[in-house]
């Protein structure tokens, strides 16, 4: 079943996100921006959590989550332990939301129009997995470059 695979991929990469956040030697470095880098690791983490909690949790899982996208990039100095707790909560929400989907639900139109054209739920979920890995890679480089 495709939802099982997607759940495993989200699980894997959210565990990697948690590990990246925990690997920072200096917690303050989560919030550093230097020339040539647009976003902090902390803000990318918040962005990923907002994105997944909204598009999967609220849209597919009916959690009631309300996204404040601007805050994802403007909030600073949130304690690492809060980020880690929110990653874990997001992981549970994704699992619960995807467990509710039937295989035929994946071919239905995604309830929120994100792109210029309508897409299936499967397309959107696959997009969200690649979006997660893209920013996870940025966080990894941010840590290795700025947390020395």
pTM of the model: 0.96
The candidate with the shortest Cα–Cα distance to 142, out of 50, 48, 37, 43, is 37
Whole-number percent of the chain with pLDDT over 90: 95
Q: Which CATH number covers residue 64?
A: 1.20.120.450
Tens digits of per-residue pLDDT, 125-141? 999 999 999 999 999 99
- Lookup: tokens for 119: 């897409």
- Per residue in 79-109, pLDDT (tens digit) is 999 999 999 999 999 999 999 999 999 999 9
- Return the pLDDT at 74: 96
* Chain segment 7-32, per-residue pLDDT in tens: 999 999 999 999 999 999 999 999 99
* 130 three-class SS: helix
Start-end of H helices in 59-120: 59-61, 69-74, 80-99
What's the domain count of the chain? Answer: 1
The count of C-alpha atoms lying within 13 angstroms of the C-alpha of 29, restricted to the half-sphere facing its C-beta, is 17
User: Band of the pLDDT at 148, cuts 50, 70, 90?
Assistant: confident
Q: In which band, very low, low, confident or very high, does the pLDDT at 78 lie, cut at 50, 70 and 90?
A: very high
Judged against a pLDDT cut of 90, whether residue 112 lies above it is answered with yes
Task: Identify the domain containing residue 36 by its residue range.
Answer: 2-146
Whole-number pLDDT of residue 36: 86
pLDDT band for position 34 (50/70/90)? confident
| Number of residues that this document lists for the chain | 148
Tokens of 91: 């992981």
Q: Would you tell me the crossing angle of helices 41-52 and 2-23 to the nearest 10 degrees?
A: 160
């Amino acid at each position: 079943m495709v939802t099982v695979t997607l759940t495993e991929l989200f699980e894997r990469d959210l565990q990697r996100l948690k590990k990246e956040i925990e690997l920072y030697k200096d917690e303050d470095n989560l919030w550093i921006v230097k020339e040539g880098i647009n976003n902090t690791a902390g803000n990318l983490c918040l962005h990923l959590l907002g994105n997944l909690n909204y598009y999967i949790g609220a849209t597919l899982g009916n959690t009631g989550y309300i996204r404040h996208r601007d805050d994802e990039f403007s909030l600073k100095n949130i304690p690492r332990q809060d980020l880690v707790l929110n990653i874990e909560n997001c992981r549970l929400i994704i699992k619960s939301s995807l467990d509710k989907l039937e295989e035929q639900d994946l071919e239905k139109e995604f309830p929120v129009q994100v792109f210029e054209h309508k897409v299936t739920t499967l397309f959107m979920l696959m997009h969200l997995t690649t979006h997660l890995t893209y920013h996870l890679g940025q966080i990894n480089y941010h840590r290795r470059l700025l947390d020395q």
